[in-house]
Chains A and B, each alone.
Chain A
Amino acid sequence: MITLIDSMKLAYTKVRTRRIRLFIVLFVSSLLFSGLVAGSLVVTGALNSFREFSDEGFTDRYIVAGKYTNSNVFNSGVTYSPEIYARVEALEKDEQARKTAEAKRLGIEYVQNEAEKAVFDDGSGHKSLNPNSPIAAKALAEYDASNPLSSNLDRFKQQTGNDAIAYYESLSMAPRGGMNNPTLSVIQDGKEDTATGGKANFGPGTTKGLDGLSQDWTLMDGPLLTPFLLKGQNLEMGKDNSIPIIASYSAAQELLKLPALDSKATNEQKKQRLSEVRDKIAGVTFQICYRNSTSYADFQNAIQQQADVKANQNKKDYEKPDLIYAPNPSACAAPVVQRDVRTTQEKNLTNKQAEFDRIFGKPDPTSEILTFRIVGLSPDRELPQGISVRDILSSVLSSTVGSNWASPRDVLEKVPAAQDVFKKDYAFSQFLPQETYYAEYKNPDVARTVLKDKTCTVLYPGAQLQEGQVACSPEKRPFMLQTFGSASLAIDEFQSGFRKIQLIVAGVIALIASVILMGMIGRIIADARKETAVFRALGASRLAISQIYIMYTLYLALLTILIALVIGFGFALWVDRTLGPDTSITMALLFNVGDLSQPFHFYGLDFYDVGLIGGVIIVACVVGSLIPIAHNVSRNPIKDMREE
């Protein structure tokens, strides 16, 4: 072998030959690789910017959420066990007997309403529980209590392993759609909104704006909320007993009575609006009327009666009810009696009916005005509806608290009404679990492994487990796991996916470049056959000749790397200059960042990527040169000399 410096010197002489052809081939090869370089720079820059934009949210945190499936009431996680149906039917039978006896004692009539039945039977033997039946809820609660398991948090820790650096909890409002739940109604301009309170609740994020609070209020541990606090705000109850709450951007805008921006609003206008909302919303209070189920039923009855009277006021044959209620002029108060011409006997009967209802669990009417204080903002959490780039980015990348309205969990102890609002609903929570537990990890790989290997799937009737899925079970895996709040794992996943794609593309490009370079190096070597023969005559071994051409190949690789870097950087800078300014504003809005002037860049240097691409180029060049070199050194030098 000859020395490195000598092989470099001799190889360099070849780089100086046939410069135009060499430049064209190098340029073509470099163009292929510059695509990789540009892709790496743009994606790295974008991901870095994503992370910077998300610093205020959860994006730099790796949190796994576990939805409690309440699956201990299921039989093997599929449906209620026959034991539960038997218990519900027994309880119902007993209660019917008691109700009949009590009605007889009070002298009132009692016939079971079909809708009150605790167990529905479709006629084919398939049974289901009535989600509004207090009897069914009671049976489920009893079953839960009689099959004690360790605390949910302990089981969550057990399921997710012990690698988390912190655990948190949250509680959602009981899913509501029936008669037994409390309501929350917005009070605007001193009037109770008659519409919002009765809306069905199908889970967080279903309604944007102020109305959403009546269906989408969540209590969470403080560390999950602090990233969203506005300047100067805290999560403590106010001196005026106001409840701290993180509001969605759309709700804040509505509270400030700012007209919605036109759909054609520019990014600059949106940015100004966000800035305005932020400046004005901190500490703003608003009121909500809490009514328990009885109070809400009375309130609705009064509204309905007023509507009936109004609708029939001109009808001659219309007979007004003996007892008419009207909504109280004061917001959130009990309805007032507008007309009462009942006989004493009728009044006694009504009182007896009320006593009967009280005996069988109907609560007394309760209502209360709750004052909320906005202490933080979170981007609107929306159910996936759109398929625009913005919608996808928003759902995948932005940091949210997972709910449009969120307060600290100690509100449950400090606000009595909250205990009713967040009470456990056994019948519905199997579909929309109220409790959620969170595990925060330092390492994204650990979080990803937990998500992949420790989750469970709720098997609804008729569904089947897919390969790799594990059914949720009360003893082993009661929690469905998912990423929470942040885009960290999504970004990491994307980065990991990008790396895989990058490797595949690099492999394909390397192959193409190898073929191009093989042709080019083959030509250069063929042109230099006589020189090789002369070198052999002057004492060069085959190894020395190979060494010179390998070194020549490395020169080509170096030139290719340099050209690819120059073109790649140029392209990335062009993308950054072209798309950067608009994207900066879009991302500021999307991520709800504090510093609205923060720039979003489309170039970022990842030394791993550059090293990888450089390595691929070197490999491509060396691979491309192997066959021509092998062919060249195996030739008889005298033949090449003779050709001369």
Chain B
Amino acid sequence: MQNQTLLEKLYDEYQGDISRLSADLRQIKSHRDQANKPLRDFSDRPVVIELKGVSKRYKLGRTVVDAVRDISFTIHQGEMVALVGTSGSGKSTLLQMIGGLDKPSEGEVLIDGINLKKMRDGSLSRYRGQKIGFVFQSFYLQPFLNVRDNIEIPAIFARTKRAARHQKSASIAEAVGLSDRLRHYSKELSGGQIQRTAIARALINQPKILLADEPTGNLDQTNAAAIFDLFDAARRDFDTTIIVVTHDENLAARMDRAIRLSDGQVIS
């Protein structure tokens, strides 16, 4: 009886460590798999995103800041790309221009061959709603809506009917492992669950492009790995093009390729 109690105590004490160890082992295995995986070739896939000589300047008081300078690259459909760089390197600005939230000072951002700069506000809203899925670093879940309602917000703006919305949110929640949390509010969720809810929200309209800004920035390695798995599943299931802004080299290493930025310019 005494031995049994001692064992239970030891189990409780080391359970967290065992979990962490298990997660680390999974991550090592993942890195090893990634390093060993053959590079995928997307050149035969259509170009979804094309940046041509894109620059962005901001005025901060009297100072003009060159956030992005003369950047050009293309991203193909289904590709998973990491935008890597230090803070202030221009990766988030680039993401926002691709997402139609901001317009370049110079150059063109073409999505499916359409220049976003020439789109009006209404068309841009529709573009964001139908083609883009955003995952924010701070999640931005609405605290007074439950998980299901949060997931459905983009579908509301896309004017998807209620029944279809519910069906989609249920399906996506199941895919991200939140089926049992649909009626919960964000304060009742863990960090990982919150991020998964944010990803589910980004995916509900089955966007062509998923833009994620530091999606694993606030997560531990286990949850970060789980997030990558979700992105991968989205690419696999919906042929979604995924761009992730990150300074997490582990995550970047798992992407199809990484575009490295420094001082607003592509360095590799």
- Which residues of A does B touch, CB under 8 Å? 1-3, 5-6, 9-10, 12-13, 16-17, 530-531, 533-542, 544, 636-638, 641, 644
- Decide if B156 touches A2 in the complex (CB within 8 Å): yes
Whether B158 and A641, one on each chain, are in contact in the complex, defined by CB atoms closer than 8 angstroms, is: no
A531 pairs with B125, CB closer than 8 A: no
The 5 closest A-B pairs by CB, nearest first: A539-B129, A13-B144, A539-B157, A541-B125, A638-B102
Closest CB-CB distance, A636 to chain B, in whole Å?
Answer: 8
User: How far in angstroms is the closest Cβ of chain B from A546?
Assistant: 12
Given contacts A2-B156, A541-B121, A638-B102, 9 further A-B contacts (CB under 8 A): A2-B157, A13-B143, A13-B145, A533-B101, A534-B134, A536-B125, A537-B99, A539-B128, A636-B102
Question: How far apart are B133's CB and chain A's nearest CB, in angstroms?
Answer: 9
| B residues 103-155 touching A (CB-CB < 8 Å) | 121-122, 125-126, 128-130, 132, 134, 136, 138, 140, 142-145, 149, 153-154
Chain A proximity mask over B152-167: 1 for CB below 8 Å, otherwise 0: 0110111100100000
In whole Å, how far is A254's beta carbon from the nearest beta carbon of chain B? 77
- The yes or no answer to B201 lying at the interface (CB within 8 A) is yes
Inside 8 A of A9's CB, which chain B residues have their CB?
A: 145, 149
Provide the bound-state CA to CA distance between A10 and B122, in Å: 20
B-side residues, CB < 8 A to A, are: 96, 99, 101-102, 121-122, 125-126, 128-130, 132, 134, 136, 138, 140, 142-145, 149, 153-154, 156-159, 162, 201, 205
- B140–A534 CB distance below 8 A: yes
Q: Is there an interface contact between A539 and B149, defined as CB atoms closer than 8 Å? A: no
* B157:A535 contact, CB within 8 angstroms: yes
Known A538-B157, A539-B154, A541-B122: A637·B201 in contact at CB below 8 Å:
no
Q: How far is the CA of A55 from the CA of B39 in the complex (A)?
A: 98
Q: Is the CB of B101 within 8 A of A637?
A: yes
- Known A2-B157, A542-B121; judge A13-B101 contact (CB<8 A): no
User: Contact between B96 and A641 (Cβ–Cβ < 8 Å)?
Assistant: yes
Q: Which residues of A contact B126 (CB under 8 A)?
A: 539, 541
Residues of A within 8 A of B99 (CB): 537
Is A537's CB under 8 angstroms from B101's CB?
A: yes
- A10–B156 contact, CB under 8 A? yes
Least CB distance, A185 to chain B, in whole angstroms = 89
User: What are the residues of chain B within 8 A of A636 when measuring CB–CB?
Assistant: 102
CB-CB under 8 A from A13, the residues of chain B are 142-145
The CA-CA distance from A533 to B134 in the complex, in Å, is 12
Bound form: Cα–Cα A540–B132 in Å: 12
**Chain B residues, Cβ within 8 Å of A535:** 153, 157
Nearest chain A CB to B212's CB is how many angstroms away?
12
Assembly CA distance A5 to B145 (angstroms): 14
The verdict on A541 contacting B144 (CB below 8 Å), with A638-B102, A641-B96 known, is: no
A5 and B156 alpha carbons, distance in the complex (Å): 10
- In the bound complex, residues from chain B placing their C-beta under 8 Å from that of A2 are 156-157, 159
Q: How far is the CA of A638 from the CA of B205 in the complex (A)?
A: 22
Q: Is the CB of A544 within 8 A of B96?
A: no
Cα A2 to Cα B156 with chains together (Å): 7
* A531 to B153 Cα, complex, angstroms: 12
| A534: B residues at CB distance < 8 A | 134, 136, 140
A residues in contact with B140, CB < 8 Å: 530-531, 534
Cβ of A529 to closest chain B Cβ, rounded Å: 12
A173 to chain B, nearest CB (A): 81
Task: Kindly state the separation between the CA atoms of A626 and B132 in the bound complex, as whole angstroms.
Answer: 30
List B contacts of A541 (CB < 8 A): 121-122, 125-126, 157
Contacts of A10 in B (CB 8 A): 142, 153, 156
In the bound assembly, the distance between CA atoms of A635 and B136 in angstroms comes to 20
Bound-state CA distance A533–B129 (Å) is 13
Give the chain B neighbours of A6 by CB distance below 8 A.
156
Q: Which residues of A contact B122 (CB under 8 A)?
A: 541-542
Could you tell me the distance between the alpha carbons of A10 and B156 in the complex, rounded to whole angstroms? 10
Nearest-neighbour CB distance to chain A for B83, whole angstroms, equals: 16
Is B144 touching A538 in the complex (CB atoms < 8 A)?
no
> Do A12 and B121 touch (CB < 8 A)?
no
In the complex the two chains form, is B96's CB within 8 Å of A638's CB? Answer: yes
Instruction: Please name all residues of chain B whose beta carbon is closer than 8 Å to the beta carbon of A17 when the two chains form the complex.
Output: 144
Closest to B99 in A: A537
In the bound complex, residues from chain B placing their C-beta under 8 Å from that of A536 are 101, 125, 128
CA distance A637 to B134 in the complex (A): 14
Question: Which residues of A sit under 8 angstroms from B121, Cβ to Cβ?
Answer: 541-542
Are B138 and A538 closer than 8 Å at their CB atoms? no
B residues less than 8 Å from A544 (CB atoms): 125, 157
CB distance from A629 to the nearest CB of B (A): 16
Chain B positions within 8 Å of A638 at CB level: 96, 101-102
Closest to A14 in B: B144
Which residue of chain B lies nearest to A16 when distances are taken between CB atoms in the complex?
B144
Query: Do A538 and B129 have beta carbons less than 8 Å apart?
Result: yes
7 A–B contacts from the bound complex (CB under 8 Å) = A2-B157, A10-B142, A13-B142, A13-B144, A531-B142, A537-B134, A537-B136
Q: Which of A535, A539, A542 has the most CB of B within 10 A?
A: A539
Contact partner, A538, options B128, B143, B159, Cβ 8 Å:
B128
Complex CA–CA separation, A265 to B126 (angstroms):
81
In the complex where A2-B157, A534-B136, A638-B101 touch, is A539 in contact with B205 (Cβ < 8 A)?
yes
A17 CA / B144 CA spacing, docked (Å): 9
With contacts A2-B156, A638-B96 known, is A539 near B138, CB below 8 A?
no
Chain B's nearest CB lies how many Å from the CB of A548? Answer: 10
In angstroms, Cα B96 to Cα A641, docked, is 10
Chain A residue nearest to B137 in the complex (CB) = A644
Given A2-B156, A13-B142, A544-B157, verify A539-B101 contact (CB < 8 Å). Answer: no
Which of A2, A13, A536, A636 is packed against the most chain B CB atoms within 10 Å? A536
Specify the chain B residue showing the minimal Cβ separation from A1.
B159
The smallest beta-carbon distance between A146 and chain B, in angstroms, is 89
Q: Which residue of A lies closest to B201 (CB)?
A: A538
Q: Which residues from B are CB-within-8-Å of A5? A: 162
* B93 shortest CB reach to chain A, Å: 9
- Cβ distance A7 to chain B, nearest Cβ, rounded Å: 9
User: Roughly how many angstroms separate A17 CA and B205 CA in the complex, as a whole number?
Assistant: 28
By a CB distance below 8 angstroms, the chain B residues around A12 are 144
A419–B111 CA distance with the chains assembled, in angstroms: 108
Nearest opposing residue in chain B for A530, CB measure = B140
Residue among B149, B153, B201 with most chain A CB within 10 A: B153
A644 to B214, CA, bound (A): 14
Check A538 against B101 for contact (C-beta < 8 Å). no
| B150 CB, nearest partner CB in chain A, Å | 10
- Which residues from chain B contact A537 at a C-beta distance below 8 Å? 99, 101, 128, 132, 134, 136
| Min C-beta distance of B130 to chain A, whole Å | 7
Chain A contacts for B159, CB-based, 8 A = 1-3
Cα-based distance from A6 to B126 in the complex (angstroms) = 18
B128, B145, B158: residue with the most chain A Cβ atoms closer than 10 Å: B128
CB closest chain-A residue, reference B101 = A638
Complex CA gap A641/B136 in Å reads 10
Q: A540 to B125, Cβ gap below 8 A?
A: yes
Min distance, Cβ B223 to any Cβ of chain A, angstroms: 21
Q: How far is the CB of B263 from chain A (nearest CB, A)?
A: 18
Residues of the B chain whose Cβ atoms lie less than 8 Å from the Cβ of A540: 125, 129, 157
Q: Which residue of B lies closest to A7 (CB)?
A: B156
- In angstroms, Cα B101 to Cα A636, docked, is 8
CB-based contact B138/A644 at 8 Å:
yes
Q: Give min CB distance, A260 to chain B, whole Å.
A: 72
Q: A116 to nearest B CB, angstroms?
A: 100
A538 touches B96 (CB 8 A): no
Min CB distance B1 to A, Å, is 52
Contact flag A539-B102 (CB < 8 Å), given A12-B144, A530-B140, A534-B140 = no
